[in-house]
Structure 1
Amino acid sequence: MPFTYLLKCNDGTYYTGWTVDLEQRLKKHNQGTASKYTRSRLPVGLVYWEEYKTRSEAQKREATLRKLSRKYKESLIESFKTS
């Protein structure tokens, strides 16, 4: 199943992505081989994810999340922690 996810980087910034294997993708990010952005901000931690039925849905949600403000992302993460 495809996922859309948010990572919190070591410098406090957030990274948004999508994948079909969340565990493997997180491992790749922390090895420095998944994205240029996270490579210089290690370690990263998974703080939020959503599961989708199709790759297309996950990619569309990723695009939407990228446009959201930091404040909105943080409120999304907080509501995720309490659910």
Structure 2
Amino acid sequence: MNWHVYMIECEDGSIYTGIAVDVLARFSAHVLGRGAKYTRAHKPVRILWQQEYPDRSSASRIEYRIKGLSAKEKRRLASGLLVESFEDLHRHCLGSSI
């Protein structure tokens, strides 16, 4: 079963990062107030970015690293401008590039 790392942009401009098997279902849960505590306080607006991984462990490692990025870096990652750093992140966390 494949897992996804995703970023959600919230109404206040903040970015929530999480993992899920079904990103659309998880986003719906966030919107309905049944997701993470963070998204109950920061209304989700849209899925900003998502990337698929072969297992939960890989997704969790990448999620942890992305959560350490600044909001500006997360937006650059979502727009494709942080490609080299993202490939480095993959090598560091997973031992391979994407």
TM-score between both structures, scaled by the size of structure 1: 0.90
Gaps in structure 1 of 5+ consecutive residues: none
The one of the two structures with greater contact order (alpha-carbon pairs below 8 A, sep at least 6) is 1
**Distance (whole Å) between structure 2 residues aligned to residue 72 and residue 42 of structure 1:** 21
Deviating more after overlay: 39-48 vs 57-66 = 39-48
**Aligned-partner SS, 1:44:** strand
Aligned to 1:8: 9
Q: How many residues align?
A: 80
**Greater Rg, structure 1 or structure 2?**
2
Once the 2 structures are TM-superposed, how far is the Cα of residue 77 of structure 1 from its aligned partner?
1.3
**Aligned-partner SS, 2:17:** strand
Aligned to 2:37: 36
Percent of aligned pairs with the same amino acid: 36
Gaps in structure 2 of 5+ consecutive residues: 82-98
Aligned to 1:75: 76
**Distance (whole Å) between structure 2 residues aligned to residue 15 and residue 65 of structure 1:** 10
**Aligned-partner SS, 1:59:** helix
Contact residue 38 and residue 44 of structure 1 kept, 8 A: no
- Residue 26 of structure 1 aligns to which amino acid in structure 2? F
Alpha-carbon displacement from aligned partner over 1:3-50 (angstroms, at most 9, x marks no partner): 000000001000000011111101000001111111122233101001
Q: CA RMSD in A?
A: 1.2
